[in-house]
Structure 1
Amino acid sequence: MIARIWHGRTRVDDFERYSDFLIERAIPDYKNTEGFIKLVFLRKKTEKEAHFTLITFWKDIDAIKKFAGEDYEKAKYYEEDRKFLLEFEENVEHYDVFAEEYA
């Protein structure tokens, strides 16, 4: 299993609206991709901005390519992201998941 990690920043005023956008637009996109396993979306506010970290889990690199394209290390953005994000980080990070534990 491979974890794909993306980070984005918005204005604090967009914290809830961007959260809603991710739930309504991004989650269905992930879920409809063959080889998708699960996701965890994290968020936090600071005084000056809001941070979002999306961690998605995939069967293998081929599954990630179905979602992100052949250049799978590049971040995938939606047209609507232009309304919210303060910058567009070029790349995401990928990690092999070698252990997993639940309470």
Structure 2
Amino acid sequence: MIARIWHGRTDLSQADAYLNLMQTVAIPDYQATPGNQGVYILRRLDGEQAHFLLLTLWESKEAIKAFAGESITKAKYYSFDKQFLLEQEPEVQHYEVFATP
């Protein structure tokens, strides 16, 4: 199993609206991709900003490619991201998973 970790930041005032879009648009897209084995949204409020980590679990690199494209380290963004995110980080992180709940 492979964990894919994406990070993004919004202004604090837009954190709830962004979370709602993640839950209603992005998460169903992840979950509909064959080979996706789980999605977690993490949020940390920090002063006037909100940090989001999206942790997704995948059965293989091929499953990630089906979701993200041939270059699996490239971050995938949605049309609404530009109006919320303070920057669009170009890459994501991948880790092998050795233990699960």
For normalisation by structure 1, the TM-score amounts to: 0.95
Pairing 1:1-103 to 2, within 5 Å after superposition: 1-101=1-101
Hey, what's the Cα distance between the residues in 2 that align with 1:10 and 1:91?
17
| Counterpart code for 1:59 | E
Hey, what's the Cα distance between the residues in 2 that align with 1:9 and 1:30?
20
**Root-mean-square deviation (Å):** 0.7
Hey, what's the Cα distance between the residues in 2 that align with 1:59 and 1:22?
22
Cα shift at 1:5: 0.1
Cα shift at 1:39: 1.1
**Aligned partner of residue 80 in structure 2, secondary structure:** helix
Cα shift at 1:34: 0.6
Cα shift at 1:36: 0.4
Cα shift at 1:44: 1.4
Hey, what's the Cα distance between the residues in 1 that align with 2:15 and 2:88?
17
Aligned pairs, number: 101
| Counterpart code for 1:74 | K
Hey, which bits of structure 1, 4+ residues long, moved more than 4 A? none
Hey, what's the Cα distance between the residues in 1 that align with 2:29 and 2:8?
18
Gaps of 5+ in 1: none
